């Protein structure tokens, strides 16, 4: 019974040497996986396409070893900015071990639509990982975490500044123990500074970097947030890229030294927003600067009789085709719009004319006329139909599979195609891990016995299913 058992010693783990890497790939983890669009209803006319529906992606997609095969990542990150980075690494072949706290685990497990203990957003940020539950506030749980990080290639965490060091898993301690480690710290505002200790979410950074101000809606001029976790996701991609760059640096170093990589959501947001968002503030001297606005206020979707069309009337090469497609060749001769410079200055007059003309067409008519005139334009597709877009189907951009716990799910195929022919089978999405599903196999890989794992589970140090019938996939290094 809990409380009557002597505390379990972890001394046995120190005797385990650097063995072969623990691998998560088993035949049971590869399920049916096929591109969305190889079956089902034909796309509607709003897509402007009724041709072939797929370029032949295989219905059965086996595991495709990625460029990070053999790399072990320990992830002590929650929500989106860290976990999505881990999933990107997993999709490129890394063995990602997600460490979750006891109880409910990663908070996103309970966010929004959920089934069988996992929410949709958790599934979308954590596929193809292994989940280990341990209590790092217990010295024995902390020892297990330290042992895992000590044998890993990469450690990612998004604790508040200073928390990792207080726990004993800060970069100095971990790099001293494992000199080849790539240690990635993801912060909100940064590791120090006047705002470093504040809580940060995506919307906070959007507000802080000028992004919300740039989204001011017309005509009232009210600032607005992008209704998407754009900063979290950009931070994830930046983290995954930085980790792979650091791994490359380690490969090139004769001593194979790792390093501490630091990112903040604020810094990523500033860099991500800057190229177009800060054009008015890039040149620091007005003298000699010709000020020509990008007119992003007119980067918009225009209503039609039955929907909306996205078109950017500022683009110079579109002008003649736009005039003809919308049935207004006289716009070409209008002195207000005669050249690109004039149109930029008078866009507030030109854009409403474009809107009025588009309002007279159906979406299918408008897109057909514009595309025929070689104008870049597209129907605004409702979210629930996005997976049915003909090019999404053709590319195999979205795949469906049967997850062992969640049943039928769908998600995006990892965008990069590493050296494969375009029509080769896509790799599967990967299982969504249950909370603590892999605790036993990972700890057995550290050298603990099933009895030791079970004792730690009874004492609340680790979590997940019982050790009975669980098997190790081999020692973790």
Contacts of 21 (CB under 8 A, 6+ apart): 70, 72, 95, 474, 476, 477
What was the pLDDT predicted at 422? 47
Given a cut of 90, whether residue 338 has pLDDT beyond it is no
Tens digit of each residue's pLDDT (9 = 90 or more) over 371-384: 999 999 999 999 99
Where residue 341 falls among pLDDT bands split at 50, 70, 90?
Answer: confident
Higher local confidence (pLDDT), 30 or 470: 470
Output the six-digit token pair for 459: 């004492």
- Report the distance separating Cα 399 and Cα 33, nearest Å: 6
Scored b (16 or more CB within 10 A) or e, 212-240 reads: bebbeeeeeeeeeeeeebbbbbbbbebbb
Higher local confidence (pLDDT), 469 or 207: 207
Contacts of 39 (CB under 8 A, 6+ apart): none
Task: Please give the CATH number for the structural domain made up of 308-379.
Answer: 3.30.1540.10
Q: Tokens 């599979």 appear where? A: 401
Sheet holding 407-412, edge to edge: 33-35, 398-403, 407-412
What was the pLDDT predicted at 117? 83
- Report the distance separating Cα 433 and Cα 128, nearest Å: 7
Contacts of 22 (CB under 8 A, 6+ apart): 72, 95, 441, 442, 445, 472, 473, 474, 475, 476, 477
Where residue 28 falls among pLDDT bands split at 50, 70, 90?
Answer: very low
Given a cut of 80, whether residue 330 has pLDDT beyond it is yes
Q: Tokens 């049971």 appear where? A: 28
Q: What share of the chain is helix, strand, coil (3-state, %, to 5)?
A: 40, 15, 45
Domain boundary assignment for the chain: 11-274+403-463, 308-379
**pTM score:** 0.84
Residues 421-438 have a mean pLDDT of: 73
Q: Parallel, antiparallel, or unpaired: how do β-strands 377-379 and 308-311 relate? A: antiparallel
Higher local confidence (pLDDT), 469 or 238: 238
Q: Is the CATH number 3.30.450.40 carried by domain 11-274+403-463?
A: no
User: What is the percent of the chain where pLDDT is above 70?
Assistant: 81
Residues 51-79 have a mean pLDDT of: 67
Given a cut of 80, whether residue 184 has pLDDT beyond it is yes
- Report the distance separating Cα 284 and Cα 148, nearest Å: 49
Contacts of 18 (CB under 8 A, 6+ apart): 151, 477
- Report the distance separating Cα 209 and Cα 270, nearest Å: 6
Decide whether 11-274+403-463 matches 308-379 in CATH topology. Answer: no
């Amino acid at each position: 019974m809990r409380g009557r058992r002597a505390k379990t010693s972890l001394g046995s783990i120190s005797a385990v040497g650097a063995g072969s890497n623990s691998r998560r790939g088993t035949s049971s983890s590869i399920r049916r996986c096929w591109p969305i669009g190889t079956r089902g209803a034909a796309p509607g006319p709003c897509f402007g396409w009724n041709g072939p529906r797929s370029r032949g992606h295989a219905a059965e997609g086996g595991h495709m070893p990625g460029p990070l095969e053999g790399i072990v990542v320990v992830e002590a990150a929650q929500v989106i900015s860290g976990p999505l980075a881990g999933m990107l690494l997993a999709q490129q072949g890394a063995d990602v071990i997600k460490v979750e706290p006891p109880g409910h685990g990663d908070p996103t497990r309970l966010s929004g639509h959920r089934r069988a203990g996992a929410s949709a957003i958790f599934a979308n940020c954590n596929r193809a990982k292994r989940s280990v539950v341990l209590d790092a506030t217990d010295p024995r749980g902390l020892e297990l975490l330290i042992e895992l990080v000590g044998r890993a290639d990469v450690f990612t965490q998004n604790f508040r500044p200073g928390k990792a060091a207080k726990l004993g898993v800060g970069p100095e301690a971990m790099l001293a123990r494992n000199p080849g480690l790539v240690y990635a710290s993801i912060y909100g505002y940064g590791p120090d500074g006047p705002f470093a200790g504040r809580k940060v979410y995506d919307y906070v950074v959007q507000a802080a970097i000028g992004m919300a101000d740039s989204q001011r809606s017309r005509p009232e001029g009210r600032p607005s947030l992008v209704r998407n976790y754009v900063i979290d996701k950009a931070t994830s991609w930046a983290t995954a890229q930085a980790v792979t760059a650091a791994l490359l640096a380690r490969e090139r170093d004769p001593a194979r030294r790792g390093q501490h990589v630091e990112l903040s959501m604020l810094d990523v947001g500033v860099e991500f927003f800057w190229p177009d968002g800060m054009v008015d503030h890039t040149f620091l001297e007005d003298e000699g600067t010709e000020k020509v606005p990008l007119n992003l206020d007119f980067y918009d979707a225009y209503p039609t009789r039955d929907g909306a069309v996205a078109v950017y009337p500022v683009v110079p090469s579109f002008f003649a085709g736009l005039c003809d497609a919308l049935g207004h060749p006289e716009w070409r001769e209008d002195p207000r719009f005669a050249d690109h410079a004039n149109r930029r200055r008078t866009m507030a007059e030109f854009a409403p004319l474009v809107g009025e003309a588009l309002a007279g067409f159906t979406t299918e008519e408008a897109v057909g006329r514009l595309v025929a005139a070689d104008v870049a334009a597209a129907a605004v597709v409702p979210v629930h139909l996005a997976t049915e877009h003909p090019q999404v189907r053709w590319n195999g951009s979205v795949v469906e599979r049967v997850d062992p716990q969640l049943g039928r799910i769908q998600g995006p195929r990892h965008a990069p195609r590493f050296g494969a022919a375009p029509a080769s089978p896509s790799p599967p999405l990967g299982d969504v891990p249950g909370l603590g599903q892999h605790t036993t196999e990972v700890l057995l890989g550290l050298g603990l016995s099933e009895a030791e794992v079970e004792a730690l589970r009874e004492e609340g140090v680790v979590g997940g299913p019982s050790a009975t019938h669980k098997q190790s996939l081999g020692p973790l290094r």
